Structure 1
Amino acid sequence: MGYWQPGTQYNNGDVVTYNGRDYKIIQPHRSQSDWAPDITPALWGAMQGGGGGGYGGYNNSDCSSGQSQQTYQPPPQPQQPYQPPQPQQPQQPPPPQYSYGNDNKPSQTQQPQQPQQPQKQDSDSDGEGKSSKKAWLIGGGIAAGAALLGAAGLAVHKHNENEKDEAEWIDRADRRTKQFYNNGPTSPCTWVLNRGKSIPQGAIVVGQEHSWTLYIGRAYHKGSITPGKASDVFKKGAVIGYSHDEIHKDTYEILLGDMNGLKWVDASGKLNVGALGKTPVDGGVDTDGTPLYVARAQHKGVYHPGKCSEKLKAAFIPYDGGEVEVSNYQVLCYA
């Protein structure tokens, strides 16, 4: 045991003293001057005093957009003493480490409430369609734009617009992640911003391929927010499928959650949300504004996360440089 110091790498099992109080590490990290143990409950747990209890009254606002679900009570679990939210920082803290109350092992096939419609953010699938925010480019707008800007000018404009949309997505994801980091979960699942190959505690497990584990990720790409998969063995941390290509992403969101409040529901072919009997978890949005949902499908004996929608003819999973179409699949829903 020693005194906490900034600029120090702390690992599992480490215990420090700060302001006369002992703290045990929750999340391995390299400390910074504004990440003191008494204001970072997701990184350090006080070893004396504090309260306990579980999270309750979830409303699904973290991983869906719109209608709330029935109140969800997860299993009781230790909770770190709440500290006032830390001030805005120039550097994002490490991923949150709140537990959802179970080990998130893959669940078995579930049976298939009414569907909810996620907010129409920016989003893809097979690369078909255009965003509603880009409607001026459709029809006569394309001709007028081409005459005014030329083909090269349109390409530059679209690239700049995509960069702006991606920055807005990162900003929204960052704010949602900080809220979770400061206050803990308010829903059976939460999309949190992640970078690189480090997988945060509580990430939902979908499958085991060879010696590595597959988790649910999603990322912005060319006007879409597309669900795919994440793992610490991937080149950048996450991969999504877009227009039959496998796209690697180092900035993405990963889905944390408690499978006690979620379930996988069978589906096949083009998704019929109303036939699920449960509300699907928001996965993202295609380029034409179509909601995308989180799917898992078997390929070569392994469950892989991917995407499905009411327009896609099946589920699509990123695999081996491309996308694999799977007719029979499951959709992640609220239990």
Structure 2
Amino acid sequence: MTYEWEPGTYYGEGSVVEYQGHKYKIIQPHTSQGDWTPPATPALWGRLPEDYHHEEHHEEHRQESGYNPSYNQDGGSSNEKHETVIIHEEERKTGWDALSDERKHQIEVGGGLVAGALALGAGFFAWNEHKKSEEEKKQHMWDLSNWLRDAEIRTRDFYGGRVSSPVTWVLVEGKNIPTDIAIVGGEEHGTPHYICRGWHEGSLQIGKASSIFQKGGVVGYAHSEHHLGKFEVLVGDKRAVRWVDFHGRCELDKLPGRPVEGGREADGSPLFIAKGVYNKAIVPGKCGPKLPAAFVPYANSEKEVKDYSILCYV
């Protein structure tokens, strides 16, 4: 028997519910909320075909990932192919807005948008996206998927010996930080903090990583700390970089050296790798031409540090 979806209810692995005449299967276990209806949160629920019978689907279906990209949220046909659609390099460069409506639809039903969201954690993604318009959600998922793909390429290139730069970013999941090759950006109570960056709200934010943190990575955004389970860590030759002292707003023409590649804000403006002292801790964070100083994630918020250091190439 399939029960109606209800708010304020915990739905665990294998849950199937009915909502407005359609059946949905759980992707990410969670406690439902009033505005988290199944069709409004495709990162949490996958719509099932109309001829689906819960009683007939046993262990093999409980082991599925849940989301089936061939069932779109406006009643698309279940006969469309299940394979992830191939996204061409030129399409990634031109951006989501430049794609035709037909091509956007192909990417949506082919799983080209949902893959990145599921990789970072569907529950986390839905929490941040559920109040945005549908087009904003798609734009953010597109950007997320592109960052994740590029991060995977960078990681393969590094471990395959195909990187010419002395330092680069590699993708890390959880607390599996490669401490032997990661570049230290700070420390607290004798524990090193490594330099990380991760995708958040359409931007690539810079922060700290350590096995002592809840998920491994922590970045600051909008005056809050955000814990990430999938992020990049800066690795490479520590002798090829140095910390340059700075004060106030970061102005490149006043910087005696080329900064190491950092992150970016949602509008594309650059973010550079910084570290600052706060409460006797040395904390890695960010600075940039649009920020009045450096900002470091600390104690559930972002702390502004006027005197700080920027990581530059030697």
Shorter-chain TM-score tier: 0.5 to 0.7
SS at match of 1:214: strand
User: What is residue 193 of structure 2 aligned with on the other side?
Assistant: 214
Q: CA deviation at 1:156?
A: 2.5
Q: State how far apart, in whole Å, the 2-side matches of 1:330 and 1:208 are.
A: 14
Distance 1:303 1:133, change over 3 A: farther
Residue aligning to 1:294: 273
Task: Describe the superposition over 1:256-302 as per-residue Cα deviations: whole angstroms up to 9, x where unpaired.
Answer: 02221111011111111111110001111111111000000011222
Match of 1:167 among 142, 145, 155: 145
Q: Does 1:247 find its partner at 2:214?
A: no
**TM-score with structure 2 length normalisation?**
0.57
Q: Does 1:180 find its partner at 2:158?
A: yes
Match status 1:190 vs 2:150: no
Q: Structure 1 276/153 Cα, relative in aligned 2: closer, same or farther at 3 Å? A: closer
The verdict on how the C-alpha distance between 1:158 and 1:233 changes in structure 2, with shifts beyond 3 A counting, is: same
Cα 1:240–1:185 shift into 2, 3 Å = same
1:320 aligns to 2:306 (yes or no): no
TM-superposed deviation, 1:186? 2.1
* Structure 1 residue 154 displacement after superposition: 5.5
Instruction: Report the 3-state secondary structure (helix = DSSP H, G, I; strand = E; otherwise coil) of the residue aligned with 1:220.
Output: strand
Q: Residue 265 of structure 1 aligns with which residue?
A: 244
Give distance in 2, aligned partners of 1:184 and 1:215. 23
Q: Distance in 1 between matches of 2:247 and 2:187?
A: 23
> Which residue identity is paired with 2:211?
D
Q: Aligned residue for 2:122?
A: none
Say if 2:96 and 2:142, in contact at 8 Å, map to a contact too.
no
Evaluate the alpha carbon distance shift between residue 310 and residue 185 of structure 1 in structure 2; reply closer, same or farther with a 3 A threshold: same
* 2:195 counterpart of 1:203: no
> Partners in 1 of 2:287 and 2:312 — Cα distance?
13
**Which protein is richer in helix relative to its size?**
2
**Identity percentage over the alignment?**
42
Where 2:133 maps in the other structure, the secondary structure is helix
Does residue 282 of structure 1 match 2:240? no
Code of the residue aligned with 1:243 in structure 2: it is A
User: Which segments of 5 or more consecutive residues in structure 2 lack a partner in the other structure?
Assistant: 1-91, 99-129
Amino acid at match of 2:224: D
* Residue aligned with 1:274, SS: helix
Contact 2:96/2:139 (8 A) holds in 1: no
Q: SS of the residue aligned with 1:163? A: helix
Query: In structure 1, how many angstroms separate the alpha carbons of the residues matched to 2:296 and 2:133?
Result: 29
Change (3 A) 1:153 1:301: closer
- The separation in 1 between residues aligned to 2:96 and 2:246, in whole angstroms, is 31
CA 1:133/1:274 → structure 2, altered by over 3 Å: closer, same or farther?
farther
Give, in angstroms, the shift of residue 212 of structure 1.
2.2
Please tell me the residue identity of whatever aligns with 2:269. Answer: T
Change (3 A) 1:187 1:320: same
CA–CA distance in 2 between the matches of 1:238 and 1:154?
Answer: 25
Q: 5 Å matches for 1:1-335?
A: 155-183=133-161, 185-200=163-178, 201-335=180-314
Letter matched to residue 302 of structure 1? A
Give the 3 Å change call, closer, same or farther, for CA 221–252 of structure 1 in structure 2: same
Highest RCO, 1 vs 2 (Cα 8 Å, sep ≥ 6) = 1
SS of structure 2 residue aligned to 1:183: coil
* Secondary structure in structure 2 of the residue aligned to 1:282: coil
1:161 positional shift: 1.6
When the two chains are superposed, the root-mean-square deviation of aligned CA atoms in Å is 2.2
Q: Normalization by structure 1: what TM-score?
A: 0.54
How many Å separate the matches in 2 of 1:290 and 1:195? 26
Amino acid at match of 1:165: D
How far apart are residue 194 of structure 1 and its match?
Answer: 0.7
Secondary structure of the structure 2 residue equivalent to 1:246: strand
Letter in 2 for 1:198: N
**Counterpart in 2 of 1:15?**
none
Shift of 1:303: 1.2
Q: Which letter maps to 1:328? A: D
181-190 vs 238-247, greater mean Cα deviation: 181-190
- Structure 1: any 5+ residue segments left out of the alignment? 1-120, 123-131, 136-151
